[in-house]
Amino acid sequence: MKTIQVKTESARYAVVCERGALSRLGGIVEKVRGCGEVFLLSSPRVWKFWGRAAARALRLPRERVVLFDDHEIAKRVSTVEGVCRKLTRARADRSALLVAMGGGVVGDVAGFAAACYLRGVRIVHVPTTLVAQVDSAIGGKTGVDLPEGKNLVGAFHQPAIVVADLTTLHTLPARQFRSGLYEVIKYGVIGDAELFRFLEHEMEKLLRLDTRSLEWVIERCARQKARIVSQDERESGLRQILNFGHTIGHALEALTGYKRFLHGEAVGWGMLGATQIAVEMKRLSERDANRFSSLVARCGQLPALPRVSSRALVRAIAGDKKSRHGRVGWVLPRSIGAAEIGVNVPDRLVAKVWRELPARYARTEN
């Protein structure tokens, strides 16, 4: 069992990474439960594979299980309201402990519900997707989307513990797993050259869900996320580096109504765009940019970019939650394993790279 500690100003908790941890979930949760009742929040898709095992481990009656849609398009305030109403009808009080089991959408919705319900109840995250295990379940960010942009309504609410069972990844559709790999690559680019080299050598093993490779990668990413969050809980400085690829990525998701791309796929395109911007600004070598784009291509083909004008893209970026006075501080790579935050990128350069991006990536795939 690998246990990683997160120490923020508001909370301290462990991230447990272990195959088979789901079978021990009852004992793990009991240590942080306190005197309140436990409620399981998940989705029908996750419940189909893992829900009954989790409910048995937690010894939960069905009335303390709350299921909701975990598609990105359902990550809305109305879904949070529905969850809170179900908790009310199940008589969840301020001592309640919520257990959120699922991917990023489940974690975001359940986490935001936990932050709001009765002005805050505790939550345990049990991430079942790669992107959630290496990224979204750690750090206390919660939120839901608006038609105008991604994660525009949310709160910081740290969990009591995070329990990642690698076994759950075996029920992921291949596309969902690849979507998580783009976030794994992100960690290599922004702060871990050794991880990036490992991915270059072991990508095919990861795509086959090789146990040892997966364990090494997930622990490596989780430790980096824990270190960053521990230093900057509320994204006032260093934590912004985790937004590499998210500037274009969030704009893409909003512009396509959250229906075309999985989150990691949009981030994949966003990282490619940010990397090319860094090359154009003479902040990154062509050699490192080619290594990065080649590794992204080896994960599998990204969904095609939509026919969106550069003006629409720039406007969507300006409306992102990270913008200040209509401007975004970009995260750009300097080399494999190092990135810089708060870079001002002219709109005309964003537009140029956007127009050229499909052709550049197509050359990499070939």
CB 169 within 8 A of CB 130: yes
3-class SS string, 32-52: HHCCCCEEEEECHHHHHHHHH
**Long-range contact pairs involving 51-59 (C-beta distance under 8 Å, separation at least 24):** 51/101, 53/22, 53/23, 54/22, 54/25, 54/99, 54/101, 54/126, 57/22, 57/23, 57/24, 57/25, 57/26, 58/25, 58/26, 58/29, 58/99, 59/26
Residue 274's identity, in one-letter code, is A
CA 286 to chain centre: 28
In angstroms, the CA 43 to CA 19 distance is 22
In angstroms, the CA 135 to CA 310 distance is 29
- H/E stretch holding 25: helix 25-33
In angstroms, the CA 5 to CA 19 distance is 18
**Residues near 136 by beta carbon (within 8 Å), at least 6 away in sequence:** 103, 104, 107, 108, 127
Quick one: DSSP state of residue 134? I
- 107, two tokens: 């974690």
**Residues near 7 by beta carbon (within 8 Å), at least 6 away in sequence:** 230
Residues with catalytic annotation? 119, 141, 183, 225, 235, 239, 243, 246, 250, 263
In angstroms, the CA 362 to CA 78 distance is 39
Count other Cβ atoms within 10 Å, centred on residue 301.
11
Q: Which residue has the tokens 């985790």?
A: 242
